Amino acid sequence: MSEIKLKKQTAIVTGANSGIGEGVAIALGEAGANVVVNYVINPDAANDVVQKIKSFGPDAIAIKADVSKEGEVINMFQQAIKQFGTVDILVNNAGLQRDAKFHEMTLAQWQFVIDINLTGQFLCAREAIKEFLRRGIVPERSVACGKIICMSSVHQIIPWAGHANYASSKGGIKMLMQTIAQEYGRQKIRVNSICPGAIKTPINTAAWDTPQAYNNLMELIPYNRIGVPEDIGKLAVFLASDDSDYITGASIFIDGGMTLFEGFATGG
């Protein structure tokens, strides 16, 4: 069943050679999509993801592009369209942290995170929308003209001391996603956000790699386990498929209940 869901569709996943992006790229490939595995460093890891997807049957290629660079993003879409004919699904996943106390945060730390996490999503979404509008709806592939999934975070609503640049980028993604969803709903383009809580990836190693850190983390998660990239992959397949055809402009929290504010279970 799942392998026919995204058959003949093409997905671009940014930052797809690590963590959540890798999990999403593999899940989309398992669901039948051809996948562009975007990366900026570590081509070997990108090629491993490509080989894994090809082993399920669909095609995949790795394309190097820094999502914060307009020319590189435009070039990535041109290469993808040349290879696969069009793009049906964009997963705006690439992101990073440069943490600092707010009064010590440099402009460079602020700008670097905003450029990649927020402007990168703008640049990729713009190219995707242009391609969706050029191509129009192809009913045998999907009832929608195109799907964009933005990787946000619980920190689009939970303030995060020491991470003002990151939290601001995620708050910005919320409004970017909703505005595009509103602007292109009539053209049958669906735009949604996935808002993960703590997912076990290289971005947050310090939060789970010692028993002490893991126990502290569990105090924030009612469901009492850390998430894994496969959790996010399954949600991405759903949001990319026609099964979620009436969902647009939504932020879906996938966080083991982190946004239930566990501290209030006994306090408050």
Ligand X SMILES: NC(=O)c1ccc[n+]([C@@H]2O[C@H](COP(=O)([O-])OP(=O)(O)OC[C@H]3O[C@@H](n4cnc5c(N)ncnc54)[C@H](O)[C@@H]3O)[C@@H](O)[C@H]2O)c1
Residues that bind ligand X (CB under 6 A): 14-15, 17-21, 38, 40-41, 66-68, 93-96, 116, 151, 153, 196, 198-199, 201-204
Per the residue annotation, which of 39, 166, 223, 246 is the catalytic one? 166
Q: Where are the alpha helices (DSSP H) in the chain?
A: 2-5, 19-30, 43-56, 70-84, 107-113, 120-135, 164-184, 211-218, 229-240
Q: Which is nearer to ligand X, 80 or 94 (CB)?
A: 94
Q: Which is nearer to ligand X, 138 or 160 (CB)?
A: 160
Token pair listed for 74: 């435009």
Question: Is position 166 annotated as part of the catalytic site?
Answer: yes
Closest separation in Å from C-beta 95 to ligand X: 2
Closest separation in Å from C-beta 36 to ligand X: 12
Token pair listed for 227: 């998430």
Q: Which is nearer to ligand X, 26 or 145 (CB)?
A: 26
Around Cβ 173, how many Cβ atoms within 10 Å? 25
Closest separation in Å from C-beta 10 to ligand X: 18
Taken in order 22, 28, 31, 32, the sign of the CA dihedral is negative
Which residue is it, tokens 């959540």? 20
Closest separation in Å from C-beta 239 to ligand X: 15
CA–CA separation, 131 and 184 (whole Å) = 13
Q: Which is nearer to ligand X, 56 or 112 (CB)?
A: 112
Q: Which residues are catalytic?
A: 166
